[in-house]
Amino acid sequence: MMKKDDFKMAVSVVEMADMVGLCRGYFYELVESGVFLPPVYDLRTHRPFYPPEIQEKNLEYRNRGKGANGQPVVFYRPRVSRDERKQKACPNDHKTGRGVQSNYLTRIENLNDLGLSDISEDRLRAVVAKCFPQGTQGIDECVIIKTVYWELKDRAKGVSL
């Protein structure tokens, strides 16, 4: 359990939602229904924020499964934080040579699941380099798979981008 000294002086609504492992929209719904405490507002800027006391209480409600309104709440598996998503994304920039082999193997598996077979890692690297000449860093993995899939399908038909 965190001590009061461990909390920031103020966190935004997005940060509070991340702390309890929920997306902002769903967190707002739970605030509206009384499961979590609402933010306080800065009188000068009118911006919402959560001071340490409310941060602590909201985390307690999340951990105990009992909302501020006294009602039991069932939370499903915790949401993956933004930092964890970034770590999972594994930048693959063919221009700088940074790349994780397992990421290419995962891409091959994904393409196999979509019906494309016999794709070698070298062929995949070449197609990724063609489709993303600036590298793939910062590009969602789903976009990469979709782009590569259609490029490979078009090549199979004899159409080239």
Instruction: Work out the average pLDDT over 29-44.
Output: 95
pLDDT at 84: 61
pTM of the model: 0.48
Domain ranges, ordered by start, for the chain? 4-64, 88-157
pLDDT in tens, 13-30: 999 999 998 888 899 999
pLDDT in tens, 62-117: 999 899 999 998 877 655 566 665 555 444 444 434 444 557 888 888 888 888 88
CA distance 14 to 46: 16
CA nearest to 27, candidates 37, 17, 18: 17
Q: Grade residue 34 by pLDDT with cuts at 50, 70 and 90.
A: very high
Tell which CATH classification among 2.60.40, 1.20.272, 3.10.150, 1.10.1660 matches the domain 4-64: 1.10.1660
